[in-house]
Chain A
Amino acid sequence: AQTVTQSQPEMSVQEAETVTLSCTYDTSESNYYLFWYKQPPSRQMILVIRQEAYKQQNATENRFSVNFQKAAKSFSLKISDSQLGDTAMYFCAFTPGANSKLTFGKGITLSVRP
């Protein structure tokens, strides 16, 4: 069974600074997909970034980038130039691709301070 672990329950960062959110996962699959989803106080789940395991290049979306270490089964999210609107819960998620099950970590609450 696949598991996703987010060991930090919460983090805080000053506006305009950089923060890194950690995630590890466990799987025996060789190909899979990893995600970071954001859930602001409005409750809507929003996809932040996606990484395909067979791609060695780390995914980047504007201020958001990942550090994907396949051998270590680590998938961290870096948020550069943090903005107040980044305040939210962030969930790391995994899917093997062969089925539709997306497994989430417990999430981390990120607060951006003005």
Chain B
Amino acid sequence: DTAVSQTPKYLVTQMGNDKSIKCEQNLGHDTMYWYKQDSKKFLKIMFSYNNKELIINETVPNRFSPKSPDKAHLNLHINSLELGDSAVYFCASSQAQGGWYTGELFFGEGSRLTVL
């Protein structure tokens, strides 16, 4: 059983299109994340949700809209795709303990987005 699963794993699309990446975790965690890994392998947090509520939004363009229908799912929708959006997007989850985040994240396999 995959703990954190993302779909699709690869996505090739044209500039200007809209696309979504889905993420599901079966670990029972209460916190989920989206991270972006650019072409230089730098990992940066984009969003964090705790129990379906947005708690971190790291100055990401409005074209990126996360949605968490329940605490096991966190989807990422991207409008009007640009060349610079090409990257690997990682979903992750963790469990806060008494409101304290110990930081041990469980990652999905990543979704490689290529914008042409």
Contact = CB atoms under 8 A, between A and B. Distances in A.
A2 B58 CA distance: 14
A98 B101 contact: yes
Nearest to A99: B101
Contact of A95 (B40, B101, B109): B101
Nearest to A35: B103
Given A43-B110, A106-B42, A50 B103 contact: yes
Nearest to A109: B41
B59 interface: no
A33 B102 contact: yes
B50 interface: yes
Interface residues of B, number: 28
Contacts of B44: 104
Interface residues of A, number: 26
Interface in B96-116: 96, 100-105, 107, 109-110, 112
Contacts of B104: 35, 47, 50
Instruction: Identify which of A47, A94, A100 gathers the most chain B CB atoms within 10 Å of its CB.
Output: A100
A33 B105 CA distance: 12
Contacts of A43: 88, 109-110, 112
Given A99-B56, A106-B40, 5 more contacts: A43-B88, A43-B109, A52-B102, A95-B102, A101-B56
Interface of B: 31, 33, 40-45, 48, 50, 55-56, 58, 88, 90, 92, 94, 96, 100-105, 107, 109-110, 112
Interface of A: 33, 35, 39, 42-47, 50, 52, 89, 91, 93-95, 97-104, 106-107
